[in-house]
Structure 1
Amino acid sequence: MDQTFAAASPDPLEGRPEPDSAAPPPRPSSTAGWLGALARTARIDASPERIFPLVLDAVAAERPHAPALIGRDETLNHRELAARRNRYARWALARGLAKGDTVALLMRNCPDYLAIWLGLTRVGVCVALLNTHLRGAGLAHCLVVAAPRLVIAASDLADVLEGVLPHLAEPPEIVWQGPDARDSLAAASAGFREAPLGSDEAPSVTLRDPALLIYTSGTTGLPKAARVSHHRVMMWTHWFAGLIDPTPDDRMYDCLPLYHSVGGVVAPGSVLLGGGSVVIREKFSASRFWADVAESGATLFQYIGELCRYLTLAAPDPAERQHRLRLCTGNGMRAEVWEAFQARFAIPRILEFYAATEGTLSLYNVEGRVGAVGRVPSFMARRSPALIVRHDVTTGLPARDAQGRCIPAEFGEAGELLGRLSERAEYTFEGYTSAAESARKVLRDVIEPNDAWMRTGDLMRRDAQGFFTFVDRIGDTFRWKGENVATTEVAEALHRVAGVREANVYGVSVPGAEGRAGMAALAVGPDFDLAHLHAEMETRLPAYARPLFLRLSDELGHTETFKQKKVTLAEDGFDPARTDDPLYIDRDGAYRRIDGALYAQIAGGELRL
């Protein structure tokens, strides 16, 4: 049986001010969210040519003057959004772009971003959503794998594209967008009609046709371009609309990148379906967050768990309880943050979910169970099959029995989460632009001969009530002293210690020792005490799971979607020659500073660990 340890039960964050008293959050029905999602998605497949831009045309006809997209510098009502995307669609056709062509989009968050990809996908163009934080070879890789006919880029990102050119065999054709752009997309499209496109002027586009290329974050290598069909766009938006039940009065606060699936499709699309509006911000600001949420009248907030942790650790804000939020929805909310965030900021309801851009499996926690990513209710089991199988940390693959089949995990046992694949559109793995990368995600002969399942790459547990809990990413879990250690659970214990602002946990190789030892990079505050941390680790974690090495930093690196970067930290290891950050080893009952001499002893295998 997998011996990955379970962390202690959640307790409130230490050192935080007591929140004002608030009524307990309402207990939502255990089935209402599921039934709403099922109702919204029930008839998607009945109309193969009813793609998302057409659905929004109907919304615009019903609520033309209601706000749709609210940016810092521009607000579009539903009629104006429809008019703009229809002009962009006709511009694409006049430009000679054909169904199946790809166009890359490089712009920061703004209302025009959504108008562009909605307009181009309306006529069958596939839009590759480029990460604005990538530079040089990384961004060039994304362009190469997409092979776009042209690039639509914001004029204020001209230097970014200029830095890409040395890494490309041929420079791409660029259409600029922005107030200071010469021959901009806005100007070129201004003369086209704003009315909905007729069937005689647009190609037939179906749910099975490609709509977007959305890139993975590239935390363990170069980003992969995941194919997203019109069917997936419809399923994502309608399913979440069923879960959150948006009304015309709702406003979604969206400060996540529009080039990713949650921030750019799920969050705005689900609310626009209900006739509501989306408050678009270029980036997250902890200092301005609550004032902006209150001033904008937001009723919904799409989070990534790390944002909630930042807010919970922040100093008290006079505006933090002046909001109108009725629901916060997102993924990655840690158990030790959840209750503190909800209580301090008087959040009526949290809807946590688990999903991946390229995935065929989703989980939703409509009940508000703290720390769980969701469950599959019994009446949904056939529609959304999920399976946890035992994982072999040594090989990084699911364990197999004597017959070559995967071994289902027991309740409470950590294993890899798989999703069954089938010919049904919603369970078809659309893959990446790379066939080799796509093949790596598919696992066969899992339960029976020739069956096919998609590997999520995530370790999960399921309890007797069916709730799934995230354990770790495969590759992050490591083995030390014959035991499997989940980095997320070590990080959870570290985050409970006063003075620890952020913890990034990973395994490092030690000469002469089997497996990988635990190491934690910590961003700490002025109240941090090394001796107190050591005492807390002895109390909270089994001996094999306690970090053997520490690295103290002012700030830890993140991707643009707030995922921690582990690869470089693991490569640096505990070598003081590779960093100016202070390094420590757990030795003789305390954390002791590693200098060149001590490192030489460790690296030479002279110290018994």
Structure 2
Amino acid sequence: MVRLACCTAMLFVLRLLLGLPWYQVLPAILIFYLGSGGWSFVDIIVKTLGRDLHAAYVLLRVKLNVRRHLREKNTVPKIFAETVQRHGDKTALIFEGTGERWTFRQLDEYSNRVANLLLERGFREGDVVALFMENRAQYVGLWLGMAKVGIEAALINFNLRLEALVHCITISNAKAVVFGSELTDDRLFYIYTSGTTGMPKAAIVIHSRYYRMAALVYYGFRMTSEDVVYDCLPLYHSAGNIVGVGQCVIHGMTVVIRKKFSASRFWDDCVKYNCTIVQYIGEICRYLLNQPVRDAERQHRVRMALGNGLRQSIWEEFMNRFNIPQIAEFYGATECNCSLGNFGNKIGACGFNSQILPFIYPIRLVRVDEETMELIRGPDGVCIPCKPGEPGQLVGRIIQNDPLRRFDGYVNESATSKKIAHSVFKKGDSAYLSGDVLIMDKYGHMYFKDRTGDTFRWKGENVSTTEVEGTLSRLLDMKDVVVYGVEIPGAEGKAGMAAIADPSHSSDLEKFVRDMEKVLPPYARPVFLRFLPEVNKTGTFKFQKTELRREGFDPTAVTDKLCFLDSSRGRYVQLDEELYHSILSGKHKL
């Protein structure tokens, strides 16, 4: 910044005060710039200019489109109506479970029937109806039909049990629940996210946000309406419903919906339906690599894998084994305003921010206390930006009248306020707190490092430690329980570990497992247990987790009793050194 300021001052003096011609001014400034160490910036320009120009084009195009839709008061159903006019008889959705195919016109007609039925039953604009079912083509038609008459859909995770399920339905104020037999600024629907603490929060998805999320991916990764997307992610998630199905609703792509992910059928499906884009979370990539080699994995037409959470350690192996030219890794939460995209196919990166024109997309990494994750501020009270290579929390400046910078928050206003910080970029401004720690290199490439707060990610799902701690404590007669995530080499995310204050080891683990299976989904059940004499707390009675995380599940470093959840046997077993090394080597299934 100092170097640029000096160059600007030289320009002012040489051109305006001395009146020198441009052919003398520009070489003089260039010589000064390079002589003062500016080669690094020249290198950045050469290597990132094309990437940054493409990103600027994408941002401008999406922003102009969003403004047009807002001006014309276009909702997602209205945009879908235009899609139907363009692609009426083209296949919109394929449900792998039954093989049924819906054209855009059939999807439109089905959603109209849903809308009319709801009106006949007395539902009105602004009412909320919860969807609690597994993936299927009807899922899309249901929320689309609701949106046509202004009814807001609450998309509920079908894995939830008891208190968490009741909580999600209750906070949405749903007047009805549609469930499967197996189980503008107007709001389009709610998507539930764990956030950094507590029970799942209902993130508000307005119509312009739905369009924005789908369009940024579409234009950023150079998709076309002729692409066929393989969507095996749950439709209650924004990745499955917006990033995936949104390409059908907004851009006229064909989307193949699978009821559940299957590693053994993945490539067979891609070949069968001529898929060109597959969606993933990091775990999916690892599961596919663990499968035996089969012919179909190189007979497909897939040109792009779209998703998030792919570890750098298996990135190239995944591309090479399955012959996928592009990994379209992105970063973003349903509610965030600081989404990132790896448009340049940079190995390991989840996105980037321009180092040439950083003000075009006002996001940054800011310093945080590694123990408390609190923002670190300078003498002026403003957050301190990170240098390249320095980990920091990703934040995005909030500008409510800018469709790409606004933050719509959650249904719960208290939860919304916790995600907003002030005086982040400059004094008095507001910014969205992602709750995630990233690292940026000198070219602006961003690399995901960790999640802050009381949430970790396992098997593609966010796990709220606060929620799991409360549930386990009740199952264990209100014992002190601390839940945290631990890393396992070769596995995406962090496995759950529970430290339990039980000095006498009186807990009945067989009964504990049976009870736990009734109230917690598989991804939230702790993989490891540690039995302690007592759990250390802070002066404000908060559990101290730093040391527990650091010690992990290594029996040579921990003298307390350790147990491992053996999924093949459905029970906890003693964790000894032999089992520990079997887990580390990947021989033991998690």
- The normalised TM-score by structure 1 is 0.69
**1:43 aligns to 2:74 (yes or no):** no
Aligned to 1:385: 362
1:403/1:548 CA distance change after superposition, 3 Å: farther
Task: Report if aligned partners of 2:125, 2:151 keep a CA contact under 8 Å in 1.
Answer: yes
Give deviations 1:498-536, integer Å, cap 9, x for gaps. Answer: xx89963879798899951424459xxxxxxx9xxx9xx
Task: Report if aligned partners of 1:551, 1:584 keep a CA contact under 8 Å in 2.
Answer: no
Match of 2:427 among 439, 444, 449: 449
Bigger mean CA offset, 257-266 vs 37-46: 37-46
Task: Report if aligned partners of 2:311, 2:492 keep a CA contact under 8 Å in 1.
Answer: no
1:547/1:264 CA distance change after superposition, 3 Å: farther
Task: Report if aligned partners of 1:208, 1:230 keep a CA contact under 8 Å in 2.
Answer: yes
1:52/1:209 CA distance change after superposition, 3 Å: same
Aligned to 2:83: 59
Amino acid at match of 2:286: R
Task: Report if aligned partners of 2:397, 2:425 keep a CA contact under 8 Å in 1.
Answer: no
1:204-219 matches, cutoff 5 A: 207-217=184-194
1:338-353 matches, cutoff 5 A: 338-353=315-330
Aligned to 1:437: 415
Match of 1:147 among 167, 173, 189: 173
Match of 1:468 among 440, 443, 446: 446
SS in 2 for 1:45: helix
Give deviations 1:400-448, integer Å, cap 9, x for gaps. Answer: 2333332211211111111111122332221111111111111112243
Aligned to 1:119: 145
Return the offset for 1:95. Answer: 2.8
Distance of 1:304 and 1:138 partners within structure 2: 23
Return the offset for 1:217. Answer: 4.1
Give deviations 1:464-485, integer Å, cap 9, x for gaps. Answer: 100111111113799xxxxxxx
1:380/1:507 CA distance change after superposition, 3 Å: farther
Aligned to 2:102: 76
**1:100 aligns to 2:126 (yes or no):** yes
Task: Report if aligned partners of 1:417, 1:459 keep a CA contact under 8 Å in 2.
Answer: yes
SS in 1 for 2:298: coil
Amino acid at match of 1:321: R
Q: Which runs of 5+ in 2 are unaligned?
A: 1-47, 457-483, 500-529, 537-543, 583-590
Return the offset for 1:337. Answer: 1.3
1:583/1:222 CA distance change after superposition, 3 Å: farther
Aligned to 1:516: 547
Task: Report if aligned partners of 1:290, 1:319 keep a CA contact under 8 Å in 2.
Answer: yes
- How many corresponding residue pairs? 458
1:372/1:247 CA distance change after superposition, 3 Å: closer
Aligned to 1:580: 573
1:339/1:222 CA distance change after superposition, 3 Å: same
SS in 2 for 1:426: coil
Return the offset for 1:353. Answer: 0.5
Return the offset for 1:309. Answer: 1.1
Aligned to 1:504: 495
1:477/1:77 CA distance change after superposition, 3 Å: closer
SS in 1 for 2:446: strand
Task: Report if aligned partners of 1:38, 1:242 keep a CA contact under 8 Å in 2.
Answer: no
Return the offset for 1:266. Answer: 1.5
1:114/1:280 CA distance change after superposition, 3 Å: same
Give deviations 1:322-367, integer Å, cap 9, x for gaps. Answer: 1110111111111011111000110011111100011111111111
1:246/1:463 CA distance change after superposition, 3 Å: closer
Task: Report if aligned partners of 2:367, 2:391 keep a CA contact under 8 Å in 1.
Answer: yes
Task: Report if aligned partners of 1:227, 1:358 keep a CA contact under 8 Å in 2.
Answer: yes
Bigger mean CA offset, 459-468 vs 419-428: 419-428
Q: Alignment RMSD, CA only?
A: 3.4
Task: Report if aligned partners of 2:338, 2:363 keep a CA contact under 8 Å in 1.
Answer: yes
- The normalised TM-score by structure 2 is 0.71
Distance of 1:472 and 1:333 partners within structure 2: 13
1:476/1:314 CA distance change after superposition, 3 Å: farther
Amino acid at match of 1:124: G
Amino acid at match of 1:344: R
Aligned to 1:237: 214
Amino acid at match of 1:368: N
Give deviations 1:104-156, integer Å, cap 9, x for gaps. Answer: 11121011100111111122111100111112111000011001122222233
1:69/1:134 CA distance change after superposition, 3 Å: same
Amino acid at match of 2:226: D
1:396/1:211 CA distance change after superposition, 3 Å: same
SS in 2 for 1:472: strand
1:157-172 matches, cutoff 5 A: 157=183
Amino acid at match of 2:573: D
Match of 1:254 among 218, 231, 237: 231
1:456/1:468 CA distance change after superposition, 3 Å: same
Distance of 2:368 and 2:264 partners within structure 1: 42
Match of 1:458 among 402, 422, 436: 436
Give deviations 1:536-564, integer Å, cap 9, x for gaps. Answer: xxxxxxxxxx99998655459xxxxxxxx
Match of 1:418 among 375, 382, 395: 395
Return the offset for 1:583. Answer: 4.5
The structure showing larger relative contact order (alpha-carbon pairs under 8 Å, at least 6 residues apart) is 1
**1:428 aligns to 2:450 (yes or no):** no
1:361-376 matches, cutoff 5 A: 361-376=338-353
Aligned to 1:172: none
Bigger mean CA offset, 348-357 vs 501-510: 501-510
